[in-house]
Structure 1
Amino acid sequence: MSQSKSRISLRKQLGRGKQIAGMTTTIAGGLRTAQRIGAFREPPREKLPRYIQTFCRKMAGSFGVKIIPIEPVPQHHGLWVSNHVSWMDIPVVGSVSPAFFLSKAEIGEWPVFGKLAQAAGTVFIERGSGDTGSVATQIASFLNEGFSVIFFPEATTTDGTNIKRIHGTLLQAAIDTGVPIQPLVLCYVNKDGELSKDLPYYGKLTMKDSLKKVLDSRHVTAYVLPLEPLDPNGYNKSQLTNLLQQRMRDGLKELHARVLTEPNNNSTSVL
């Protein structure tokens, strides 16, 4: 191996080590805070959002990702939705919204991350044979208690250039409770003002390879744009799904126009 390649490899290893150390420090700090506020016994949901937002911002920062809301993000009660590009979306969205995340119940049993998820007031969903109707009912019950929930209606990640066809089954929870649907869109931009190719986690990319790409990336900014909320009253699930699809599609186009050096021409397509 040439000296130049050795230096590049060493810089990568040092960079990864620094970021992993930062992530470990953030997780340890989150565990200490959760212990201090009694979140392991009973998550204090009324005051958790500000702790979650701080933790998520630090977690994204440990990977070198800076988060910039290009408009003030409202903090009102509602059913929140976001486009889905990467596993990094969780700390990005969690840093700006007051909503609690959804998760499969078994994740709550994971070591470390499961404990953090429980302490963060995650809404653990019991799934049975793909019964999304039952999930919507569980979400509605949570919304009725006065707490916000966020999910990714595309149900899969993308390369960040467009909004895939969204799935509106869980929007029934907003109809049943009458709470607004608060959409937001996000994108990851590199130092050249282009959509980052390192942050998207989709297709055949493995988690291990994605983690390496993120650790090796530099100067990535996550831009977040909150969109006009949707009032579910007077609409059925199909109508709400179509409205949300259009709003998110237009919103992503606007976000790209505002933050990219050369906005992506395909950002309005729907797969």
Structure 2
Amino acid sequence: MADVWQEPDAPAPVPMTGGAIWRVIRRGVPLAILVFGGLLILVTVRLIERPFCGLRRPVTPYITQAVCRSAFGILGIRFRSIGAPMKGPGAVVANHASWLDIFALNARKRIYFVSKSEVAGWPGIGWLARATGTVFIKRDRREAASQIAVFRDRLAAGHKLLFFPEGTSTDGLRVLPFKPTLFAAFFDPALAGNLCVQPVTVNYTAPAGQDRRFYGWWGDMAFGPHLLATLAVKGQGSVTVHYHLPVRLTDFADRKVLAKTLENTVRSGLAVHDGA
């Protein structure tokens, strides 16, 4: 949770030719129907699910997964994964490159994002985040005890909580240092126990002929223009989600060692993909 990462320039916008406008319509309309139709179904099912299951969500995560997998099909972005998602409750950490991460990380693994509280108020993304069970936390040390209680309850319900330890999104070509303060809550006696953490690397390959940072969304880049560019581009690229082996919290002396180990693992996945 930090200031946004900045880079002096951004990829050139996709020219809005007649063909580009047609692609925006051809992809954008079905995508909107999928996302908001799926949201409506999810909310309806949750109204039934919540009174009987509480924090446990036996049905709605599968709706989220289906929507996210289908979204890549509509966009034409090729999706693949490497490795095995961790079984059982625990924490997941990943690099953060784009709003597309929401779809990529939900497509195969049923997870719940942990996000800064400001996201809850964002139009569109905020609504989706709340509906899909995102945990919102405040950047205030006075809230630490209540946040640990929330994490404990969610983990006890079998949830996998996903964190972006960089604290901001980037251009997708790098992994920023992981902030160890985020991992302090993991070492609370109420959580530590048998808690496992799985590092995950999200790799984007830009469409042919486009800037390598095409799918990256960072700094003060507006969501609308970035979404339009993603819809308008003639050919699409791909995304690969690499699931690394989980680590056990009790194997680490403190949060700094844990953060650095996870950071290096996530970065190694990005380097391997980049060199492939």
TM-score bracket, normalised by the shorter chain, equals 0.7 to 0.9
Q: Are 1:24 and 2:36 matched, yes or no?
A: no
Q: Are 1:163 and 2:175 matched, yes or no?
A: yes
Residue 78 (structure 1) shift: 1.2
For the structure 1 residues 193 and 81, does the alpha-carbon distance in structure 2 shift closer, same or farther, using more than 3 Å as the test?
Answer: farther
Match of 2:213 in 1: 197
How far apart are the structure 1 equivalents of 2:76 and 2:148? 35
How far apart are the structure 2 equivalents of 1:84 and 1:111? 20
CA RMSD between the two structures: 2.9
Match of 1:219 in 2: 236
Residue 35 (structure 1) shift: 4.3
Q: Which has the higher contact order (CA 8 A, sep 6+)?
A: 2
**Residue identity matched to 1:34:** L
TM-score, length-scaled by structure 2:
0.78
Match of 1:88 in 2: 100
Q: Are 1:241 and 2:241 matched, yes or no?
A: no
Q: Secondary structure at the match of 1:197?
A: coil
Structure 2 unaligned spans of 5+? 1-14
With 44-53 and 175-184 compared, the bigger mean Cα shift is at 44-53
**Residue identity matched to 2:100:** M
Match of 1:263 in 2: none
For the structure 1 residues 171 and 89, does the alpha-carbon distance in structure 2 shift closer, same or farther, using more than 3 Å as the test?
Answer: same
Match of 2:11 in 1: none
1:48–1:121 CA contact under 8 A, matched in 2: no
Identical-pair percentage: 25
**Residue identity matched to 1:118:** R
How far apart are the structure 2 equivalents of 1:232 and 1:30? 36
TM-score, length-scaled by structure 1:
0.79
How far apart are the structure 2 equivalents of 1:83 and 1:58? 23
Match of 1:256 in 2: 274
Residue 116 (structure 1) shift: 3.8
Q: Are 1:73 and 2:85 matched, yes or no?
A: yes
With 240-249 and 200-209 compared, the bigger mean Cα shift is at 200-209
For the structure 1 residues 209 and 105, does the alpha-carbon distance in structure 2 shift closer, same or farther, using more than 3 Å as the test?
Answer: same
Structure 1 unaligned spans of 5+? 1-6, 259-271
Question: How many residues in Structure 1 have an aligned counterpart in Structure 2?
Answer: 251
2:208–2:236 CA contact under 8 A, matched in 1: no
Match of 1:267 in 2: none
Q: Secondary structure at the match of 2:248?
A: coil
For the structure 1 residues 204 and 175, does the alpha-carbon distance in structure 2 shift closer, same or farther, using more than 3 Å as the test?
Answer: same
For the structure 1 residues 10 and 81, does the alpha-carbon distance in structure 2 shift closer, same or farther, using more than 3 Å as the test?
Answer: same
Residue 132 (structure 1) shift: 7.1
